[in-house]
Amino acid sequence: MAEAPLMPAPPPALQVIDWLLTGASEQQIREALAQTYPGSNTRLVMGEVQEHLSAAGNPNPDAVRGWALLSYRKLYQQMLAVGDFDGARKIVREITLLGAKA
C-alpha cells in the first residue's frame, strides 16, 4: 500500500493565524515562527496576517448571511439524523429569521 503524500506546511501567515486563534501571545508566535519557519521575514509575515485579519473583519454581509444559512442547514440535517427535533425546530426558526432579512 502506497503512503499518502505529506501535505505541505501552510504558509507562515496562515499558521500564525492558527496560533492566534488558539490564544498564543505575540512573543509565543514570534518564537514559534522563528523555529517553524526559520528563514521567514517576521515583519512581512505579521503584515500579511494583519491584512488577512483586516479583510476578514469586513466581510460581504450577503456572503456572511449565506454562510450562516448553509451552516444552519447542515446543523438541521444533523439534528434530524440524531433525533434532536427540538434543536431542528430552533434551527428552522433561525433560518426563517435570516431569510426574512433578505
Are 51 and 80 in the same domain? Answer: no
Which pLDDT belongs to residue 99?
79
Domain count, the chain: 2
CA 6-18-53 angle, to 5 degrees, is 125
User: Does 83 reside within a domain?
Assistant: yes
At residue 9 the predicted structure's pLDDT band, cuts being 50, 70 and 90, is: low
Q: Is the model's pLDDT at 6 over the cut of 70?
A: no
At residue 5 the predicted structure's pLDDT band, cuts being 50, 70 and 90, is: low
Are 44 and 22 in the same domain? Answer: yes
Q: Does 71 or 102 have the greater pLDDT score?
A: 71
User: Does 20 reside within a domain?
Assistant: yes
Whether the model pTM is above 0.75: no
Tell me the pLDDT of the chain averaged across its residues.
88
List the domain range (segments joined by +) for residue 34: 12-56
Are 51 and 75 in the same domain? Answer: no
Which pLDDT belongs to residue 83?
97
CB 42 within 8 A of CB 34: yes
Q: What percent of the chain has pLDDT over 70?
A: 88
The H helix count followed by the E strand count for the chain is 5, 0
The mean pLDDT value for 17-41 works out to 93
CB 32 within 8 A of CB 26: no
